[in-house]
Structure 1
Amino acid sequence: MDEWLSLSKAAQQLGVHPSTVRAWADHGYLPSQRTQGGHRRFRRSDVELRMHTHWESATPEAPSVYANVLRNTRVQISESNLESENWYRKMDNDAREQYRLSGRSLVQGLIGHLTSNGDGLDAEARSLGYEYASRGQRVGLSSVEAAHAFQFFRTAVMDAILSAYENADVRSPQIWSELFRKMNSFSDIIIITLLDTYEAIQHSSH
């Protein structure tokens, strides 16, 4: 009997964000069924088939592209690049490692935003904004320094995504326009939430 996978397990096996798997299911790219409770379930055989299927798509949404974005982001957030940032030099080793790992969360969130219809992604962007604010507070960064830290990772991730689209030879002006619109809207929510969270923390401490 074929094994059924949850949304998170299917996403883990495919190497993409759960939002991406949800979008693929919505568009019929990946068969799924729902439990009585409304949760999606995916056959392992369907997931494995998707892993080895050539993607005929107008936009680069394949797991391999996600892997390329993640790899390029790691290169751009290397220790040598981070050492030139004033906010980074203020941190201890544990805090530095957490910030480097945050690049992966941003990649997952942005890829999910680009490959889905947007359901639930505003909440995810706000969650990332809160995460960056909380982390900055814990290591003693000002709100401006925390914003600079986010902008550093945002630039690295966006550059990696743009490179992936260029390498995929995407030429449609509509696709590029949608790409920039979605990337900007997602990152705008994050930075606004970050600043709002700092302000709320400062007010609560008075």
Structure 2
Amino acid sequence: MLIVGIAGGTGSGKTTVARAVFDAIGVEYVTLISQDAYYKNHAFLSFEDRAHLNYDHPESFDNDLLVAQLAQLRAGQAIEMPVYDFTTHSRRPETIHVPAKPVIVLEGIHVLVDASIRDMLDIKVFVDTDPDVRVLRRVVRDIQERGRTIESVYDQYLNTVKPMHDAFIEPSKRYADLIIPEGGENKIAISLLTTRLSSFLAEPIR
């Protein structure tokens, strides 16, 4: 089994790269996991308190659960992945059954920040995209998909998103085996990654 980590700032194109790998290799060989599913569950707090938490800090994720489930997948065991609701800032009661497959692709902003996650990764990728492009993508996504107002997106970006990117995400680039500029638009870099994964799948089982 090969575990690939795809990191990068918000709106960098991580999901686009992960989806391109998924489409190129095939559903029977690849499982996609988003670190976003592993936000800590703060259902015990009021909605107002949950809305003011810093969701861009590495400690906002339940990395212990993520690492444990990656270990299960590597051992060939299926997992029950949590489901996070961004409109309520809480974890839903249902889970998603995720089977173990030869290639696991994990994408998320802090995938390369936490050493315990990095140690689980066989290939580490960083998607590097211009900040102006990233912030515009973030605005569109949060308004259309997560029910946010333009004011809340603006405040969050200035107060937590940008400071956390500068403090944690950008420095994590040094751990990458492969840096992909411009995300999903970089067809050559994506082709190099998928070629490596295809070669792995073609190797005889030892």
Identify whether the pair has TM-score above 0.5, normalized to the shorter chain: no
Which is greater in Rg? 1
More strand by share: 2
TM-score by length of 1: 0.27
Structure with higher RCO (Cα < 8 A, 6+ apart): 2
More helix by share: 1
